[in-house]
Amino acid sequence: MADTYDVTIIGAGPGGYVSAIRAAQLGLKVAIVEKRPTLGGTCLNVGCIPSKALLHSSHLYEEATEGMADHGVVASGVKLDLKAMMAHKDGVVGDTIKGVDFLMKKNKIDRLLGTGSIAGAGSVTITDDQGKSDTISTKNIVIATGSDVAPLPGVEIDEKMIISSTGALALTKVPKKMIVIGAGVIGLELGSVWRRLGAEVEVVEFLDVCLPGSDAEVSKIAQRSLKKQGMTFKMKSKVTGASTTKTAVTLTVEPRDGGDAEEMKADCVLVAIGRIPYTDGLGLEAAGVAMDKGFIKVDSGFKTNVDGIYAIGDVIGGMMLAHKAEDEGVMLAEMLAGQSGHINYDAIPGIVYTSPEVATVGKTEEQLKEAGIAYNTGKFSFTANARARAMSATDGFVKILADAETDEVLGVHIVGAAAGDLIQECVVAMEFGGSAEDIARTCHGHPGLSEVVKEAALDVADRAIHS
């Protein structure tokens, strides 16, 4: 251990560990404190990585059972080996975590196992699970403690029958019926996994749209596709209580806008109503760090109201996304090393890994209307794209919103195959202040799904070729 660190980061999720690497690259002496035995935070352990592994594996299973016959591939005797599927997921998680361990060593970052708390500006105490503690001194403290599952009063999570996303990544058998509370990102992604593996999945949502905050047309098409796949939705409804027997959970569900309550039964209930900032045990109150609704308050350089204490990632709010946390971590490390740092919150993509995928960046039509900004819309459907037809992936569209006067791209919304990869060229265009015409005049490989992006860009000026 060093006598004094330049930076001590509390929390080794994508915000914390990426910030640690960047700070070390710039010559700072860095320590990272993590209470989990494994690095990588929510994202690697119980979030992005295991969920994407299960989404891919369950997609393969569904394709093998019913998706390939039209292509002349007839498989018989396809069986689900859930244990092997979970082992694959655990392997992916384990290998990814090992990669982060390697990066810590490579960059000579001191990894301290235990719960970090702020003993005062310039001082962090690390307490291990035996209660033994050590205090280190540091010029700067970065809090990157992330978020946790939001609880739902009256519906207590036991991770057996009433589960959070963490339980949904580790079920040992496919439920007969799963009720998902919340039609947000987690509900739709993990609901898709278990529906593909054979569960009857019903989603109960408080609002009248799924994926709130998304472009309204995109949410509508995404929901329609999921319904076609067999997922059912009970919208404008709120769950007010739950009771459990050995074999079933009974939920009390009330119409949001008034009316009689009803009971719904399932053998598994997934609570996915959002995530809340995690600051337990940090000693923020004693350190005098100001908060806002549970989130740590920071300025545009991630500094709290206390000199030498900074915060990044889910714990400061905004988009709760791994790449947003990473970019904040990089920017902060660069500023602590005397550089200027950069983040553009208008160009952070959000991707939902359902089938079809949903990807979005920048402003929605609803936001532009509310802000009184005049815009032109270009839209192109996957149906009119030969590659999408070859792949039997014709659901969805690309929509590009560009400033009516300057043609600058203000927002892009995609629902369709590979949306999460297709959005990336639009993010780059937006970072460069690009216009719809810039995308439209860029040569796109044929035949490719990215031609749908190009055609949508052409359509902004009403000159799409293939429609």
Q: Which residues bind ligand NAI (CB under 6 A)?
A: 152, 181-187, 189, 204-207, 212, 238-239, 272-275, 320-321, 351-353
For ligand FAD, give the closer residue by CB, 72 or 131: 131
How far apart (Å, rounded) are the C-alpha atoms in residues 276 and 292?
12
Min separation Cβ 142 and ligand NAI, Å: 21
Residues paired with 138 in a beta bridge:
5
Min separation Cβ 211 and ligand NAI, Å: 7
Indicate which of ligand FAD, ligand NAI, none lies near residue 238 (CB less than 5 to 8 Å, by partner kind): ligand NAI
The DSSP string of 170-187 is S-SS--SEEEEE--SHHH
- Using an 8 Å Cβ cutoff, are 310 and 144 in contact? no
Indicate which of ligand FAD, ligand NAI, none lies near residue 212 (CB less than 5 to 8 Å, by partner kind): ligand NAI
Min separation Cβ 227 and ligand NAI, Å: 16
Indicate which of ligand FAD, ligand NAI, none lies near residue 187 (CB less than 5 to 8 Å, by partner kind): ligand NAI
Q: What residue number has its CB nearest to ligand NAI?
A: 184
For ligand FAD, give the closer residue by CB, 185 or 204: 185
Min separation Cβ 203 and ligand FAD, Å: 16
The DSSP string of 97-125 is HHHHHHHHHHTTPEEEESEEEEEETTEEE
- 446 carries an active-site annotation: yes
Min separation Cβ 448 and ligand FAD, Å: 24
Please report, as ranges, the residues that interact with ligand FAD according to CB under 6 A. 10-16, 33-36, 41-43, 47-48, 51-52, 115-116, 144-147, 165, 186, 278, 281-282, 313-314, 320-323, 325
For ligand NAI, give the closer residue by CB, 239 or 440: 239
Torsion of CA 416, 419, 420, 425, to 10 degrees: -170
Min separation Cβ 345 and ligand NAI, Å: 14
The DSSP string of 14-65 is HHHHHHHHHHHHTT--EEEEESSSSSSHHHHHHSHHHHHHHHHHHHHHHIII
- The DSSP symbol for 305 reads S
For ligand FAD, give the closer residue by CB, 124 or 251: 124
For residue 247, count CB atoms less than 10 angstroms from its CB and return exposed for 0-12, middle for 13-18, buried for 19 or more.
Answer: exposed
- The DSSP symbol for 67 reads I
Smallest Cα–Cα separation from 266: which of 249, 253, 254, 252? Answer: 249
Residue 153: is the preceding peptide bond cis (ω within 30°)?
Answer: no
In 234-301, which residue ranges form alpha helices assigned H by DSSP?
284-287
How far apart (Å, rounded) are the C-alpha atoms in residues 201 and 211?
17
Min separation Cβ 359 and ligand NAI, Å: 10
For ligand FAD, give the closer residue by CB, 117 or 364: 117
- The DSSP symbol for 132 reads -
For ligand NAI, give the closer residue by CB, 270 or 409: 270
- Using an 8 Å Cβ cutoff, are 329 and 18 in contact? yes
Tokens encoding 186: 């987690």
For ligand NAI, give the closer residue by CB, 276 or 384: 276
Q: How many CA atoms lie within 13 A of 243 on its CB side?
A: 2
Q: Name the 3-class secondary structure at 269.
A: strand
Any idea which residues carry the catalytic annotation? 446
